[in-house]
Structure 1
Amino acid sequence: MGANSSLLSPDSSDGSNHPSKLKLGDIPESCVALVLSYLDPPEICKLARLNRAFRAASSADFIWDAKLPSNYHHLVDDYLIKNPTKLGKNETYARLSRPVPFDSGNKEFWLDKRTGGLCLSISSKALAITGIDDRRYWNYIPTDESR
């Protein structure tokens, strides 16, 4: 730390490393990645557009590993691809953030981008009504009034 911080001192002998000449891209990538790990995924993506250093730091696996649910390996194995090691954690998060259909397209799940929680949507076609003997309740009958 001492060697790196001495570069930032204003009393440098040649004046070439004066703090006013330093740019945002001069911050070490590991420092940027550590700061990004405390942010929400949408904020990380916005900051990744700033410059190359922020973009490279935003793709660090340890940032996205904390944002993924604990069972994401099962979701990727069962519904996305068969070899999840080819995907980076940021790409895995991006794919799971979009709706992933399953069960013949009658159900879908996705990650909430803010909280990282798992969301599930079940179509009415996937539901079964039990306990009523009237066949009208057992068959899917589209009508003009339905959307």
Structure 2
Amino acid sequence: MRQFEELCEGCIATVVSRTTPVDACRLSLVSNTFRSAAESDAVWNQFLPSDSQFMDSIISNSPSLANVPSKKSLYLALSDRPIIIDNGLKSFQLDRKSGKICYMLAARSLSIAWVDDERYWKWIPMHNSRFSQVAKLHIVCWFDIHGMISMRDLSPNTQYAAYLVFKLINASGFRNPDSPVEISVGVEGGHRSTKTVYLDPNVEDRSHSGEVGLRQPSVRNDGWLEIEIGEFFNSGLEDEEVQMNVKETNDYTSKMGLFVEGIEVRPK
């Protein structure tokens, strides 16, 4: 380590920039020389998305970011909270540990069967949602929610997972253990991974003894529920569309009380 410290600060910065944000923070504790190198703009610029036009568009959606004192400060700001973009239809954020790109597609950007008929769905504001409106299920017998995102918008060479982000408030029709919800994810025109889950965390799973029970949602740090829809790998070699689907079309029991914030895509 002493021989490594004898390198010039620029060389150390080059090496550190080939690691990860977590490693850079750890290496900054080694010595003053390492700290200066590990906190330099040269290092943290490597952890930010490389498309300058894209970064300019992100900063334009949050003017306070234009005044951050360093690239590290910009990175931390982008990983600390989501930035609303695309006229409120999407949020952007960096994964704090890896610097990989994360998106949430707002409910307004999803294709939801009958969403424009107020007999079935309504658009309402919710105080703890990052978006101005969420979709509230008034009453339907079955539902179908579909989202799509382009691989080119995501970090290459990265394993991703998609999650439905929702709430159940005074809900009914989701506790039938014999009628789980079907979820799937896959590249458009290619293989789709399909499985079944329960949206209600309180449903009693009736899986046969010895079998793995169906997946149920977990509570997020922001208070919403999420359920994993599926995984996919972005090789970065082709411009493909990833399709994500959540539906229940077999049980014609009336369903209500589902609030959809969106579908989040983040590194697995």
- TM-score, shorter chain, exceeding 0.5: yes
Equivalent residue, structure 2, for 1:38: 18
**1:1-20 correspondence to structure 2 within 5 Å:** none
The separation in 2 between residues aligned to 1:63 and 1:82, in whole angstroms, is 19
**CA RMSD, 1 decimal:** 3.4
The structure whose residues are more often strand, as a share, is 2
Paired residue type of 1:77: S
Q: Which residue of 93, 113, 118 corresponds with 2:101? A: 118
Structure 1 unmatched ranges of 5 or more = 1-21
Paired residue type of 1:121: M
Distance 1:114 1:82, change over 3 A: closer
Q: TM-score, normalised by structure 1?
A: 0.63
The separation in 2 between residues aligned to 1:110 and 1:83, in whole angstroms, is 16
Distance 1:23 1:34, change over 3 A: same
Equivalent residue, structure 2, for 1:3: none
Contact kept? 1:29, 1:57, Cα under 8 Å: yes
Contact kept? 1:101, 1:109, Cα under 8 Å: yes
Q: Which residue of 132, 135, 139 corresponds with 2:119? A: 135
Equivalent residue, structure 2, for 1:144: 170
The separation in 2 between residues aligned to 1:68 and 1:51, in whole angstroms, is 25
Task: Compare 35-44 and 25-34 and name the one that shifted more.
Answer: 25-34
The structure whose residues are more often helix, as a share, is 1
Q: Which residue of 66, 69, 77 corresponds with 1:87? A: 69
Aligned residues: 125
1:76 and 2:76 aligned:
no
How far off its partner does 1:38 sit? 1.0
Structure 2 unmatched ranges of 5 or more = 124-135, 139-167, 172-199, 201-224, 226-268
The separation in 2 between residues aligned to 1:34 and 1:134, in whole angstroms, is 57
Ranked by relative contact order (alpha carbons within 8 Å, sequence separation 6 or more), the top structure is 2
How far off its partner does 1:53 sit? 1.0
The separation in 2 between residues aligned to 1:116 and 1:37, in whole angstroms, is 12
SS at structure 2 position matched to 1:87? coil
Equivalent residue, structure 1, for 2:44: 64
Sequence identity percentage:
24
Paired residue type of 2:59: V
Q: TM-score, normalised by structure 2?
A: 0.38
How far off its partner does 1:65 sit? 1.7
